[in-house]
Amino acid sequence: MNNFIFQNPTRLIFGRGMISELPKQIPADCRLMITFGGGSVKKNGVYDQITKALEGRDYVEFWGIEPNPRIETLRKAIELGKKEGVNFLLAVGGGSVVDGTKLISAGLLYDGDPWELVLSGRNTNTVPLGAVLTLPATGSEMNSGAVISREETKEKFAFYSNYPRFSILDPTVTYSLPPFQIACGIADTFVHVMEQYMTTPGQSRIMDRWSEGILQTLIDIAPRIQENKEDYDLMCDFMLSATMGLNGFVALGVTQDWATHMIGHELTAIHGLTHGATLAIVHPGLMRTMIEQKEAKLAQYGQRVWGINEGSTRQRALKAIDRTEEFFRSLGLATRLEEANIPDETIYEIERRFNHRNVKFGEMQNITGTVAREILINCK
């Protein structure tokens, strides 16, 4: 196991009706801005619960943080926040709203163009923020990461700032989510775990078991949620799995990969594909391309998560990849580039971008532009 330093200070407030805890979590004397996405919270009752909980408080609202939040939008939020003297933020929405609000929290204390913050990769000089999560997927509600896009250049980069001071997760607010969003959230959570698990075997028995435990949970609940997405306990397990999948709890002392995400981000940047949908396409192809490197861990995964006990290590590894792709398909997601209407030119554009930035992704830092092309060809 590798040495590590771990601390996750987020207060997780979980369960039915817990939005009513809001007033206790936000200092009465702060200057609050609440950030929202496109307006679904006005339909599903979340907005009403929040305004009721904060009755008598004064706050600014900022609407319109889009999926894959754009710097162009966030600049406007930062401008408004500065004008209003905002010193506390509440993000209400899915991972994109939380991600975007993390950049706002740093941008409020930064004099330059906030895109510079994104390019710097990290800034922890921030105003405090809390979140009310409406879509389980990204884990942003309990980590310090964010992914910010720039529309004019079709770029999308990771940015690290502060952990939410608190996050409120009420599983009942997910009942109204469209099935496609739920499918993407499950795929996103699944691949988050795989990025932290599908690496060199034998690093940590307990981290392996915990990652496998989240994967088993997702496989167990996915078909049941398709039958009834208003089953409270199912949505509890979905929501908690998504948070636990990317809050550092399964990453202690082990190496990580994240190459699937790096390639997926490019598909989103170029074609606007939903994040989880890109992962369902890239991940099986990545595992097939990297089979030499990942064979032993894939066989362990196949045995423990999918019950694959027959055949050589290679056969079991390949079968485990097939089962993973079938799982994504069972969610109703495309797993091939052509199904998502991604042309071959995109493959070469991503190769060009990776080569231009001279990046090397993945656990072994061996996923160059050339390897990314090979992976994407395996996703056809």
Between residues 10 and 378, which has the closer beta carbon with respect to a second copy? 10
Q: How far is the CB of 117 from a second copy (least distance, A)?
A: 25
Residue 35 main-chain phi, psi, to 5 deg: -110, 140
By C-beta, is 216 or 346 nearer to a second copy? 216
Q: Which residues, listed in sequence order, are joined to residue 159 by a DSSP beta bridge?
A: 146
Residue 150: phi, psi to the nearest 5?
Answer: -125, 110
Q: How far is the CB of 99 from a second copy (least distance, A)?
A: 22
Contacts with a second copy by CB under 8 A lie at: 1-18, 21, 202-207, 209-210, 212-214, 216-217, 220-221, 232-233, 236-237, 240-241, 244, 249, 252-253
Q: Please say which residue, 204 or 226, places its beta carbon nearer to a second copy.
A: 204
Nearer to a second copy by Cβ, of 116 and 220: the residue is: 220
Q: Which two tokens stand for residue 45?
A: 């009752």
Closest approach of a second copy to the CB of residue 163, in Å = 11
> Do residues 123 and 117 lie in contact, with contact meaning Cβ atoms separated by under 8 Å?
yes
Query: Does the CA dihedral 155-159-165-168 come out positive or negative?
Result: positive
Q: Pick the closer one to a second copy by CB: 217 or 289.
A: 217
What's the number of CA atoms in the CB half-sphere (13 Å) around residue 365? 3
Dist. CA 232–CA 229, nearest whole Å? 8
- C-alpha 102/C-alpha 10 separation (Å) is 14
Please list, in sequence order, all residues whose beta carbon lies within 8 angstroms of the beta carbon of residue 215, skipping any fewer than 6 positions away: 190, 193, 194, 197, 301, 305
Closest contact distance (angstroms) between CB of 248 and a second copy is 10
* Closest approach of a second copy to the CB of residue 297, in Å: 16
Phi, psi of 203 (to 5 degrees): -80, -40
How far is the C-alpha of 306 from the C-alpha of 97, rounded, in Å? Answer: 34
Q: Which CB atom, from 8 or from 120, has the smaller least distance to a second copy? A: 8
Of 112, 41, 40, residue with least CA distance to 75: 112
Nearer to a second copy, 106 or 207 (CB): 207
Is 232 or 348 the residue whose CB approaches a second copy more closely? 232
Distance, in Å, from the CA atom of 317 to the CA atom of 319, rounded to the nearest integer, reads 5
* Least Å from the CB of residue 128 to a second copy: 14
65 touches 37 (CB < 8 A)? yes
Nearer to a second copy, 10 or 35 (CB): 10
225 or 372: whose CB is closer to a second copy?
225
Residue 17 Cβ, how far from a second copy at the closest point, in Å? 7
Are 32 and 26 spatial neighbours (Cβ–Cβ below 8 Å)? yes
Q: How far apart are CA 37 and CA 100, in angstroms?
A: 10
What is the C-alpha to C-alpha distance for residues 334 and 183, in angstroms, rounded to an integer? 11
| C-beta separation of 219 from 194 below 8 A | no
Rg of the chain (C-alpha set) = 20
Q: Shortest Cβ distance from residue 143 to a second copy (Å)?
A: 14
Q: Which residues contact 29 (CB under 8 A, 6 or more apart)?
A: none
As measured in angstroms, the least distance from the Cβ of 286 to a second copy is 25
Q: How far is the CB of 5 from a second copy (least distance, A)?
A: 5
